[in-house]
């Protein structure tokens, strides 16, 4: 026991100080990202792809690559999942989800993976900076990377960009080790890692790997020129091993494609939207399309890179300018042979990313889509997460910015002015001047970084506050055996926008979420879960992406009222300045009946409308005739109040009904809205009995139904 402790202590003493500091920084970066994910994104972000990866992670833990919903697939259809005959599978590959699944299995908390990715990326940036220049540059590069707004915020959410960068950086470090030490094991590992990166995000991995592929080909050709084709040179054996394991990763990706889409060369994202991949011309996804020309690509990517440089890298434009200086100084030293061998090789490979990543992204219209308005950096996904398709560029920017800072510090330290100060002042005074100078640099950089980091953090905080309000009744409920019908403001998708409300892979968890859709669809869900308590989650207001525009939520427990006949009463309050009313009953599939209620009195009075459902007919007391009702239908009652000047206030009651044999059923309570000037106002007019302040004085809406003979 004592001997291992001595060995560990000796190893610790022998480890360079910069490496120890970098390790501490990596741990700190992981802690900060975990805390950010926990506090700033408790309900996830406005990028609803997070829910896709977390749903996929839970599927992997259940041993599933797809969801099996059968005839209820439309009710359970998650965002960015492909429906194929009752089978649902995600458009994304399972690699990032598998990373999240590991920490879910080990700790019950997927955010642990985010922390590990943050720590690993900081450590790998340190390693690459050390290889390109020296350990001090590597340490500073790690700091510059870790405090960048894009690294902090994008790593704190369940998106694939930071995890894929981790794989790319691990590949780079292993590849460079294999070259330096002629290590076949590292070469094989490099291939395996880049193969996994390809499986995770093929296009991103290729753009990162291109400089290394070019270098590998060049070294093999050099070996052939020097030693001939056979026996294989060291470079040929290394790179053959890297290529073999890399192609194995590609093979796994193609096998996954074949399993999911039926063709190895059709990726799931292509099955979801065939015109969504890289390329020019017509690009399209979910009804959104554009003619993506080279001119449009240049314009959009120009904005993206400018916002990256000025808002999403450390200290904004100041930090980018420092990185440009570092690149220029490094290039001069490469050409002057002041940086030779491995350092020039590593630096050149990192610098080449400034070419491959931006050029490759020109062909991807996603960079156009992240800009809601190209000349507005405070709108769209870019305003919240940065240029995440260019995430890999954080690495060379951080390394060259660190190089400029370290060179500048050393130049200042060795300058003539410092020499004169050292000769004229005491060592303590010299140290004090140095500390003040360093503090000034850190203060200026910190202020600049805070200026670029604060706006997106405030946007995310507003988004979290919005979701915190919206989810309040869900969080307050104690669901044990429940089905909750949820709205779909952005179309028939679950987890878009409510990605916090996800189903277990078997649709058998304590709570099952189903889309609130047409009457026959809702009854089908209730029939499939007859022994559960059913709820309807809705809200008053309009759901938008604006974090400052909140909704007022509501959760109703549902019941199915049934009988041979159903008789109902609807009582509404009469606000001021109402002199008459009319009542109308109609079904979505049939006709209508109505009557004029005449003068309904003044403030404080109420009015009651009586209606009846009998088999395939509905009737309204006071009106002639009946309303035909389909086997499964929606029956709507309107009580319209009219003011002398023509202004109206309409109470709207929407009832989901079904006829089965001699029995009629209605889902209760109905959806109730109160609309000004119009008869239909969607969720803008949702009636909230527990929030009278949301309505005009005098508004009241009570309804009941009973079985009758």
Average pLDDT over residues 57-77: 96
- Does the pLDDT of residue 426 top 60, yes or no? no
pLDDT tens-digit series, residues 224-248: 776 766 776 778 889 999 999 999 9
Tokens found for residue 88: 């649902």
Please state, as a whole number, how many other Cβ atoms lie within 10 Å of the Cβ of residue 31: 13
Average pLDDT over residues 29-46: 95
CB of 46 closer than 8 Å to CB of 79? no
Alpha carbon of 472 to those of 465, 537, 554: distances in Å? 11, 11, 9
CB of 60 closer than 8 Å to CB of 480? no
| Structure confidence at residue 530 as a pLDDT band (50, 70, 90) | very high
The three-state (H, E, C) secondary structure of 353-394, written as one string: HHHHHHHHHHCCCHHHHCCCCCCCCCCCCHHHHCCHHHHHHH
Tokens 């940065």: give the residue: 386
Which of helix, strand or coil describes residue 156? coil
- Does the pLDDT of residue 16 top 90, yes or no? no
Give the whole-angstrom CA distance, residue 44 versus residue 48.
Answer: 8
- Does the pLDDT of residue 546 top 70, yes or no? yes
The 8-class DSSP code of residue 606 comes to E
pLDDT tens-digit series, residues 574-584: 998 888 999 99
Give the whole-angstrom CA distance, residue 162 versus residue 121.
Answer: 8
Q: What is the pLDDT at residue 2? A: 59
The three-state (H, E, C) secondary structure of 59-80, written as one string: HHHCCCCCEECHHHCCCCCECC
Angle between helices 111-132 and 394-413 (to 10 degrees): 50
Residues 158, 162, 167, 169, Cα dihedral to 10°: -170
- Does the pLDDT of residue 75 top 70, yes or no? yes
Give the whole-angstrom CA distance, residue 337 versus residue 463.
Answer: 52
Q: Give the range among 376-380, 496-500, 501-505 with minimum mean pLDDT.
A: 376-380
Give the whole-angstrom CA distance, residue 278 versus residue 259.
Answer: 23
| Structure confidence at residue 118 as a pLDDT band (50, 70, 90) | very high
Average pLDDT over residues 393-415: 88
Which of helix, strand or coil describes residue 649? strand
Residues 97, 100, 104, 110: is their CA dihedral positive or negative? negative
Tokens found for residue 273: 């939207």
Average pLDDT over residues 501-526: 96
**Which of 603 and 634 is assigned the larger pLDDT?**
634
- Does the pLDDT of residue 222 top 70, yes or no? yes
Average pLDDT over residues 432-446: 58
| Structure confidence at residue 635 as a pLDDT band (50, 70, 90) | very high
Pairing between β-strand 606-614 and β-strand 565-573 as defined by DSSP bridges: antiparallel
- Does the pLDDT of residue 21 top 80, yes or no? yes
343 backbone dihedrals φ, ψ, rounded to 5°: -65, -40
Q: What is the pLDDT at residue 383? A: 92
Q: What is the pLDDT at residue 444? A: 66
Q: What is the pLDDT at residue 692? A: 87
Q: Give the range among 68-72, 103-107, 642-646 with minimum mean pLDDT.
A: 642-646
**Which of 545 and 37 is assigned the larger pLDDT?**
37
Alpha carbon of 534 to those of 235, 485, 597: distances in Å? 66, 8, 36
pLDDT tens-digit series, residues 323-337: 999 999 999 988 877
Q: Which of 179, 294, 279 is nearest to 237 (CA)?
A: 179
Give the whole-angstrom CA distance, residue 696 versus residue 670.
Answer: 21
| Displacement of CA 541 from its chain's centroid (Å) | 24
Element (H, E) at 240: helix 234-261
Q: Give the range among 16-20, 41-45, 281-285, 674-678 with minimum mean pLDDT.
A: 16-20
Give the whole-angstrom CA distance, residue 699 versus residue 640.
Answer: 13
Q: What is the DSSP string of 13-59?
A: HHS-HHHHHHHHHHHHHHHHHHHHHHHT-TT--S-THHHHHHHHHHH
The three-state (H, E, C) secondary structure of 516-553, written as one string: CCCHHHHHHHHHHCCCCEEEEEEEECCCCCCCCCCCEE
Tokens found for residue 423: 């000769």
Which of helix, strand or coil describes residue 635? strand
Mean pLDDT over each residue of the chain, to the nearest integer? 91
Angle between helices 111-132 and 17-39 (to 10 degrees): 150
Alpha carbon of 203 to those of 35, 85, 215, 391: distances in Å? 31, 29, 19, 13
| Structure confidence at residue 419 as a pLDDT band (50, 70, 90) | low
Tokens 């965002």: give the residue: 79
In this prediction the pTM is 0.92
pLDDT tens-digit series, residues 549-565: 999 999 999 999 999 99
CB of 178 closer than 8 Å to CB of 186? yes
Partners of 514 in the beta sheet?
Answer: 485
Please state, as a whole number, how many other Cβ atoms lie within 10 Å of the Cβ of residue 692: 11
- Does the pLDDT of residue 437 top 80, yes or no? no
Q: What is the pLDDT at residue 375? A: 85
Average pLDDT over residues 147-166: 96
Percent over 70 (pLDDT), the chain: 92
Residues 184, 185, 188, 193: is their CA dihedral positive or negative? negative
Highest mean pLDDT among 218-222, 395-399, 545-549: 395-399
CB of 541 closer than 8 Å to CB of 576? no
Tokens found for residue 104: 């879910």
Tokens found for residue 482: 């429940």
Percent over 90 (pLDDT), the chain: 78
Q: Give the range among 132-141, 431-440, 489-498 with minimum mean pLDDT.
A: 431-440
Residues 395, 398, 402, 404: is their CA dihedral positive or negative? positive
- Does the pLDDT of residue 430 top 90, yes or no? no
Average pLDDT over residues 651-668: 94
**Which of 396 and 646 is assigned the larger pLDDT?**
396
Tokens 């990028």: give the residue: 47
- Does the pLDDT of residue 541 top 80, yes or no? yes
| Structure confidence at residue 424 as a pLDDT band (50, 70, 90) | low
Alpha carbon of 609 to those of 434, 466, 546: distances in Å? 84, 37, 39
Element (H, E) at 153: helix 149-155
CB of 569 closer than 8 Å to CB of 602? no
**Which of 432 and 499 is assigned the larger pLDDT?**
499
Q: Which of 358, 365, 395, 229 is nearest to 288 (CA)?
A: 365
Contacts of 540 (CB under 8 A, 6+ apart): 551, 552, 554, 683, 684, 685, 686, 687, 688, 691, 694
CB of 648 closer than 8 Å to CB of 642? yes
Please state, as a whole number, how many other Cβ atoms lie within 10 Å of the Cβ of residue 442: 10
| Displacement of CA 100 from its chain's centroid (Å) | 14
| Structure confidence at residue 103 as a pLDDT band (50, 70, 90) | very high
């Amino acid at each position: 026991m004592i001997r291992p402790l001595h060995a560990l202590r000796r190893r610790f003493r022998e480890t360079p100080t910069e490496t120890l500091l970098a390790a501490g920084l990596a741990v700190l970066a992981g802690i900060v990202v975990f805390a950010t994910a926990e506090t700033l994104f408790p309900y996830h972000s406005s990028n609803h792809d997070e829910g896709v990866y977390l749903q996929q992670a839970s599927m992997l833990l259940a041993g599933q690559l797809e969801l099996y919903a059968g005839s209820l697939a439309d009710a359970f259809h998650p965002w960015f999942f492909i429906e194929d005959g009752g089978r649902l599978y995600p458009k994304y590959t399972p690699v990032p989800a598998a990373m999240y699944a590991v920490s879910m299995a080990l700790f019950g908390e997927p955010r642990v993976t985010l922390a590990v990715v943050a720590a690993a990326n900081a450590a790998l940036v340190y390693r690459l900076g050390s290889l390109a220049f020296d350990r001090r540059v590597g340490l500073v590069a790690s700091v510059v990377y870790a405090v960048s707004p894009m690294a902090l915020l994008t790593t704190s959410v369940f998106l694939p960009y930071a995890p894929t960068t981790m794989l790319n950086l691990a590949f780079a470090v292993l590849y460079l080790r294999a070259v330096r030490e002629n290590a076949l094991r590292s070469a094989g590992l490099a291939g395996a890692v880049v193969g996994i990166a390809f499986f995770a995000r093929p296009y991103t991995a290729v753009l990162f790997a291109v400089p290394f592929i070019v270098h590998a080909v060049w070294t093999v050709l050099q070996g052939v020129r020097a030693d001939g084709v056979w026996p294989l040179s060291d470079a040929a054996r290394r790179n053959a091993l890297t290529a073999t394991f890399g192609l194995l990763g590609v093979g796994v990706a193609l096998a996954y494609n074949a399993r999911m889409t039926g063709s190895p060369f059709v990726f799931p994202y292509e099955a979801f939207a065939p015109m969504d991949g890289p390329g020019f011309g017509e690009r399209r996804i979910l009804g959104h399309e554009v003619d993506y020309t080279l001119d449009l690509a240049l314009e959009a990517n120009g904005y993206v890179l400018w916002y990256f440089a000025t808002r999403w890298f450390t200290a904004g434009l100041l930090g980018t300018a420092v990185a440009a200086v570092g690149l220029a100084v490094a290039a001069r030293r490469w050409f002057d042979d002041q940086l030779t061998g491995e350092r020039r090789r590593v630096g050149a490979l990192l610098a080449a990313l400034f070419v491959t990543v931006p050029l490759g992204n020109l062909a991807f219209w996603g960079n156009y889509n992240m800009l809601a308005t190209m000349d507005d950096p405070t709108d769209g996904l870019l305003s919240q997460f940065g240029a995440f398709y260019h995430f890999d560029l954080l690495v060379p920017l951080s390394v060259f910015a660190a190089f400029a800072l370290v060179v500048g510090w050393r130049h200042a330290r060795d300058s003539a002015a410092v020499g004169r100060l050292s000769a004229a002042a005491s060592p303590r005074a010299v140290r004090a001047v140095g500390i003040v100078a360093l503090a000034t640099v850190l203060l200026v950089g910190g202020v600049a970084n805070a200026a670029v980091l604060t706006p997106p953090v405030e946007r995310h905080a507003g988004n979290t506050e919005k979701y915190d309000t919206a989810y309040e009744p869900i969080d307050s409920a104690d669901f044990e055996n429940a089905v909750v019908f949820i709205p779909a403001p952005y179309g028939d998708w679950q987890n878009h926008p409510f990605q916090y409300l996800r189903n277990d892979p078997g649709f058998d968890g304590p709570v099952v979420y189903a889309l609130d859709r047409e009457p026959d669809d809702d009854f089908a869900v209730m029939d499939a879960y007859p022994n559960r308590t059913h709820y309807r989650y809705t809200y008053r207001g309009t759901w938008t992406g604006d974090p400052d525009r909140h909704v007022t939520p509501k959760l109703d427990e549902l019941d199915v009222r049934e009988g041979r006949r159903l008789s109902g009463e609807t009582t509404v309050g009469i606000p001021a300045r109402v002199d008459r009313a009319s009542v109308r009953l109609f079904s979505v599939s049939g006709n209508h009946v109505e009557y004029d209620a005449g003068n309904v009195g003044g403030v404080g009075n109420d009015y009651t409308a009586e209606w009846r459902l009998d088999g395939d007919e509905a009737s309204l007391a006071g009106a002639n005739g009946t309303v035909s009702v389909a086997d499964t239908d929606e029956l709507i009652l309107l009580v319209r109040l009219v003011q002398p000047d023509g202004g109206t206030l309409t109470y709207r009651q929407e009832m989901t009904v079904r006829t089965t044999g001699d029995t009629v059923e209605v889902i209760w309570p109905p959806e109730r809205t109160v609309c000004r000037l119009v008869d239909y106002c969607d969720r803008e007019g949702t009636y909230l009995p527990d929030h009278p302040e949301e309505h005009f004085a005098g508004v009241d809406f009570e309804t009941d139904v009973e079985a009758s003979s």
